[in-house]
């Protein structure tokens, strides 16, 4: 088998086992996995920029929130259907990431991190400022009656799981296809040596811009799907913490691997979920994990596997 078909087989196997696992899991856990799948979409979007292009953003919550509010506000005030709402969310996230990418990519390294952080903070504060419509920190609920696609109830646990899985699968296959394509290989080349990529005649700036747009739009898609499936839109999702989470998931699972974000999100979500039963200081886990990962395993779990066991891991 070629590397490409091996990668595709791995992705299809992952999707199939996630579908099968639903019938074994108790309801509480299938609810969590549905949530994790949506957050994995977010982390996969983040990974395209951080893991494959080498651009560390500290402001992806802005894109997540763009998708979430794009869908949420459109459904709340324009009474759009879930499908058109999702399109509105995607369009808004694409618009925001196009603008932010254009501006932020004029900087690099630490300045890029701070600029994205500042834009995200400005976005979060704007949500609070427009509290009259966004309901600020409190957020608003998308009514169950609105979350129906011609009789198909998105708030039902089984439906929710399989919709999350379906959308996750689409994103996983898109990412798998992108990183195998010439475009994806160029992104990796930029990550490894930007000057050389430029010397070879690639338009580095344009590639990076596309990477931000795809990454931001996918993160926005996650935000919109989250709002749609769980029926809640709130400013918490725009805070710095939600910019840190995908970084944490990707670092833990393995930056620059297609299944790393899933592993990282699953692992970290359960770690935080379990520890929050014992203490209210559950973010301590996140802090300790960040420090240990930077110190000892910057390539993450899947990265270690790729280095020592399965060298073809996409």
- Can you tell me the distance from the alpha carbon of 207 to that of 213, in angstroms, rounded to the nearest whole number? 10
48, two tokens: 């395209």
Beta carbon of residue 106, minimum distance to another protein (angstroms, whole number): 5
Beta carbon nearer to another protein, 263 or 289: 289
- Give CA–CA dist 229/34, Å, rounded: 9
Does the protein bind another protein through residue 288 (CB under 8 A)? yes
Out of 1, 24, 295, 309, the residue judged to bind another protein by CB under 8 A? 295
Helix pair angle (109-129, 61-77), 10° resolution: 20
Assess 110 for contact with another protein (CB under 8 A).
yes
Asked if residue 244 binds another protein (CB under 8 A), the reply is: yes
Does 181 bind another protein (CB under 8 A)? Our answer is no
Are the beta carbons of 303 and 47 closer than 8 angstroms? no
Rounded Cα distance between 216 and 119, Å, is 13
> What residues numbered 41-70 form the site for another protein, per CB under 8 A?
56, 58
119 binds another protein (CB under 8 A): yes
> What backbone phi and psi angles, to 5 degrees, belong to 149?
-110, 105
Piece of 63-71, 119-127, 162-170, 229-237 that binds another protein (CB under 8 A): 119-127
Which residues 6+ apart lie within 8 Å of 72 measured at CB? 85, 89, 140, 142, 227, 233
| Nearest residue (CB) to another protein, 63 versus 230 | 63
- The contact set with another protein (CB under 8 A) reads 56, 58, 103-104, 106-107, 109-111, 113-115, 118-119, 121-122, 125-126, 128-129, 244, 247, 251, 279-284, 286-291, 293-295, 298
């Amino acid at each position: 088998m070629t590397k490409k078909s091996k990668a595709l087989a791995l992705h299809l196997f992952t999707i199939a086992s996630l579908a099968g696992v639903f019938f074994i899991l108790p309801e509480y856990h299938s609810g969590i996995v549905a949530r994790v799948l949506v957050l994995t979409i977010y982390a996969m979007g983040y990974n395209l920029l951080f893991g494959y292009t080498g651009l560390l953003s500290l402001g992806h919550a802005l894109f997540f929130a763009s998708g979430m509010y794009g869908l949420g506000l459109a459904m709340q005030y324009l009474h759009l259907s879930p499908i058109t709402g999702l399109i509105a969310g995607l369009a808004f996230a694409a618009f925001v990431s196009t603008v932010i990418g254009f501006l932020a990519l004029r900087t690099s390294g630490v300045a890029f991190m701070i600029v994205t952080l500042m834009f995200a903070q400005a976005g979060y504060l704007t949500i609070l400022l427009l509290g009259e419509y966004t309901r600020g920190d409190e957020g608003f609920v998308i009514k169950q009656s609105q979350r129906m696609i011609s009789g198909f109830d998105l708030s039902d646990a089984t439906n929710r799981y399989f919709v999350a899985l379906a959308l996750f699968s689409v994103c996983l296959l898109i990412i798998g296809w992108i990183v195998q394509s010439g475009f994806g290989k160029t992104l990796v080349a930029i990550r490894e040596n930007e000057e050389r990529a430029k010397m070879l005649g690639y338009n580095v700036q344009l590639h990076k811009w596309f990477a931000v747009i795809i990454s931001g739009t996918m993160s926005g898609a996650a935000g919109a799907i989250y709002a749609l499936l769980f029926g809640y839109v709130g400013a918490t999702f725009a805070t710095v913490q939600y910019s840190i989470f995908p970084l944490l998931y990707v670092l833990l699972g393995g930056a620059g691997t297609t299944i790393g974000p899933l592993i990282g999100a699953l692992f970290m979500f359960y770690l935080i979920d379990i520890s929050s039963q014992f203490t209210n200081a559950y973010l301590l886990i996140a802090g300790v994990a960040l420090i240990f990962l930077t110190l000892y395993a910057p390539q993450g779990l899947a990265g270690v596997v790729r280095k020592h066991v399965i060298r073809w891991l996409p």
